[in-house]
Amino acid sequence: MAEITQRDGSWSYEDGRIRIVPGAKAHPVRQVLGEVAVPLAAVAGITFERDRKGGRLRLRLRDGACPVVRAAEGRLPEGADPYRLVVESGREDLAEYLVAEVRQALLLEQIPEGPVERFLLPGPALPVSGGGGDGTAAFDGHEVRLTWNWKGKETKTSAGPTTLALADLAGVAWVPPQGLENGHLRFLTRSGGGRTVAPEHDPHALDLWGLSKKEHTAVLVAAAVLVALAARGEPERSPGALDKAEAPAQLPLPPAPAPQAPSSDDPDALLRRLRELGELHRDGVLTDEEFSLAKQAVLRRL
Confidence of residue 211 (pLDDT cuts 50, 70, 90): confident
The pLDDT tens digits for 215-248 are: 999 999 999 999 999 998 855 444 444 444 333 3
Q: Which residue would you say has higher pLDDT here, 247 or 143?
A: 143
The pLDDT tens digits for 164-209 are: 999 999 999 999 998 778 999 999 998 875 567 899 999 999 999 9
Rg of the chain, C-alpha, whole Å: 22
Say if residue 259's pLDDT is above 60: no
Per cent of the chain over pLDDT 70 is: 78
Q: In the prediction, which pLDDT does 300 show? A: 62
Q: In the prediction, which pLDDT does 38 show? A: 98
Say if residue 267's pLDDT is above 80: no
In the predicted model, what is the mean pLDDT of residues 255-266? Answer: 43
| Distance set, CA 301 to CA 54, 181, 276 (Å) | 33, 55, 16
In the predicted model, what is the mean pLDDT of residues 94-123? Answer: 95
Q: In the prediction, which pLDDT does 197 show? A: 87
CA angle 158, 215, 155 (to 5 degrees): 15
Per cent of the chain over pLDDT 90 is: 69
Q: In the prediction, which pLDDT does 241 show? A: 43
Q: In the prediction, which pLDDT does 23 show? A: 96
The pLDDT tens digits for 291-302 are: 776 677 667 656
Q: In the prediction, which pLDDT does 255 show? A: 42
Helix (H) or strand (E) segment spanning residue 118: none
The rounded distance, in Å, linking the Cα atoms of 178 and 196 is 20
Q: Is the dihedral of CA 196, 202, 205, 207 positive or negative?
A: positive
| Distance set, CA 141 to CA 12, 108, 226, 228, 263 (Å) | 30, 37, 10, 7, 37
- Mean pLDDT (the chain) is 85
Confidence of residue 284 (pLDDT cuts 50, 70, 90): low
Say if residue 258's pLDDT is above 60: no
The rounded distance, in Å, linking the Cα atoms of 25 and 23 is 5
Confidence of residue 283 (pLDDT cuts 50, 70, 90): low
Helices (H), the chain: 28-33, 67-72, 92-109, 154-157, 218-232, 267-282, 288-301
Beta strands in 134-215 (DSSP E): 135-139, 143-148, 162-165, 169-175, 183-189, 205-208
Say if residue 5's pLDDT is above 90: yes
- The order of strands in the sheet holding 54-61 is 43-51, 54-61, 84-88
Say if residue 108's pLDDT is above 60: yes
The pLDDT tens digits for 37-74 are: 999 999 999 999 999 899 999 999 999 999 999 999 99
In the predicted model, what is the mean pLDDT of residues 271-289? Answer: 68
Confidence of residue 262 (pLDDT cuts 50, 70, 90): very low
Q: How many CB atoms lie within 10 A of CB 122?
A: 16
Inter-residue contact 82 to 68 (CB < 8 Å): yes
Inter-residue contact 148 to 135 (CB < 8 Å): yes
